């Protein structure tokens, strides 16, 4: 029996994710949006389905405006929410998107009580907390897509700086999905060689800062809308790791209860992703400076989360 994946939100991130999931043949996919969108999710689903004979995938793709079609999903990805606009901070999105994520989560878990929730909506870390509280799920079944994207951006910039294949580059970015994220050059490598051995300190700091500003840079260039190709690719990697029980180590937003000295908040950390969701939080041996930066990032997330109505 095929796995079933629901993507909530048929906007740029959601629709691109549906396309990637179908092409990867990870399971049958349902994309659901609000009733006011009428035939939009069904139209996008049909368009993706009609590409199947060319790309050679057999995944079924369905678009809907009610949650009945999502029943029995193994994974529900929540991308719903208003996008960030130029000059708008992630904090500005907070309570509007909290209401949306709360409503969506209630519907999703009603029809798929055994699913794993992956949250993509911004501000990411706070929306994960909303989903956790609303769903009543154990913490390992609510995961935020943040670190995979932030690390991918850092990998891209490192590959560009060294003129090497992006496939050879691995990077690690921890902390909140925002201005206080913590790129870790010491744990970022090119085919096993730390980038601290390959790049001067000032160039590494430039890469760190561009990584922190990665989303804002794209928003500024697009002028209307925000990134969706890399976010959808990052989410697809997480879905694959869970459905295939790959035990893959990826940086994701996880609810911490004492790990890294952080408690009661979602923060990006390396985790093992398998069929149960988060199967282990990997605790790196951080330097004093790295640990302080992570604590500062967690404090910012906690302050934001405390503002939830």
Q: How far is CA 80 from CA 91, 188, 189, 203, 288, in A?
A: 16, 32, 34, 36, 38
What pLDDT was estimated at residue 90?
Answer: 59
Non-local CB neighbours of 59 within 8 Å, separated by 6+ positions? 2, 21, 22, 25, 26, 27, 28, 29, 52
Round to whole Å and give the CA distance between 130 and 225: 24
Long-range contacts (CB closer than 8 Å, 24 or more residues apart) made by 255-263? 255/128, 255/129, 255/132, 255/139, 255/142, 256/281, 256/298, 257/139, 259/283, 260/286, 260/291, 260/294, 260/295, 260/298, 261/291, 261/295, 262/294, 262/295, 262/298
Task: Identify the CA nearest to 175 among candidates 80, 304, 308, 14.
Answer: 304
Q: Give the phi and the psi of residue 171 in degrees, each rounded to 5.
A: -140, 160
What pLDDT was estimated at residue 275?
Answer: 98
What pLDDT was estimated at residue 245?
Answer: 98
Is the confidence at residue 77, as pLDDT, over 90? yes
Mean predicted confidence (pLDDT) in 270-275:
98
pLDDT digits over 45-61, tens only? 999 999 999 999 999 99
Mean predicted confidence (pLDDT) in 173-198:
96
Please identify every residue annotated as catalytic.
Answer: 177
Q: Tell me the two tokens of residue 97.
A: 């998107």
What pLDDT was estimated at residue 178?
Answer: 87
pLDDT digits over 194-247, tens only? 999 999 999 999 999 999 999 999 999 998 888 999 999 999 999 999 999 999
Round to whole Å and give the CA distance between 29 and 141: 19
At 26, is the pLDDT very low, low, confident or very high (cuts 50, 70, 90)?
very high
Contact between residue 89 and residue 42 where contact means Cβ atoms under 8 Å apart: no
Question: Cα–chain-centroid distance for residue 128?
Answer: 10
Task: Report the phi/psi class of residue 136: left, alpha or beta, with left for phi > 0 and alpha for psi in -120 to 50.
Answer: left
pLDDT digits over 93-139, tens only? 788 899 999 999 999 999 999 999 999 999 999 999 999 999 999 99
Round to whole Å and give the CA distance between 120 and 60: 23
- Domains in the chain with CATH codes: 4-144 (3.40.50.720), 147-306 (3.90.110.10)
Round to whole Å and give the CA distance between 1 and 116: 18
Compute the mean pLDDT over every residue in the chain, rounded to the nearest whole number: 95
Gap between the terminal Cα atoms of the chain = 41
Q: Give the phi and the psi of residue 19 in degrees, each rounded to 5.
A: -60, -45
DSSP secondary structure, 267-284, as one string:
EEEEEEEETTEEEEE---
């Amino acid at each position: 029996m095929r796995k079933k994946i629901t993507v909530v939100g048929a906007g740029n991130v959601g629709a691109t994710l549906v396309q990637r999931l179908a092409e990867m043949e990870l399971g049958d996919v349902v994309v659901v949006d609000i009733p006011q969108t009428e035939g939009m999710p069904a139209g996008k689903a049909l368009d993706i389905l009609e590409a199947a004979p060319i790309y050679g995938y057999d995944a079924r793709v369905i678009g809907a405006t009610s949650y009945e079609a999502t029943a029995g999903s193994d994974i529900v990805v929540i991308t719903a929410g208003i996008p960030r606009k130029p000059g708008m901070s992630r904090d500005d999105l907070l309570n509007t998107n909290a209401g949306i994520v709360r409503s969506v989560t209630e519907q999703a878990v009603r029809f798929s009580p055994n699913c794993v929730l992956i949250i993509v909506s911004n501000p990411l870390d706070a929306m994960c907390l909303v989903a956790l509280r609303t769903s009543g799920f154990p913490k390992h079944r609510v995961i935020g897509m943040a670190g995979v994207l932030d690390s991918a951006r850092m990998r891209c910039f490192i590959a560009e700086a060294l003129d090497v294949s992006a496939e050879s580059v691995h990077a690690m970015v921890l902390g909140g999905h925002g201005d206080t994220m913590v790129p870790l050059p010491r744990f970022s490598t090119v085919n096993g060689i730390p980038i601290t051995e390959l790049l001067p300190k000032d160039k590494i700091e430039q890469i760190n800062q561009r990584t922190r500003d990665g989303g804002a840079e794209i928003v500024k260039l697009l002028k209307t809308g925000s990134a969706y190709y890399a976010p959808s690719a990052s989410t697809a990697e997480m879905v694959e790791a869970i459905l295939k029980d790959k035990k893959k180590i990826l940086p994701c937003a996880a609810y911490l209860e004492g790990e890294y000295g952080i408690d009661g908040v979602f923060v990006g950390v390396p985790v093992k992703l398998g069929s149960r969701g988060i199967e282990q939080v990997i605790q790196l041996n951080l330097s004093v400076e790295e640990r302080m930066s992570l604590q500062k990032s967690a404090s910012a997330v906690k302050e934001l989360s405390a503002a939830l109505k």
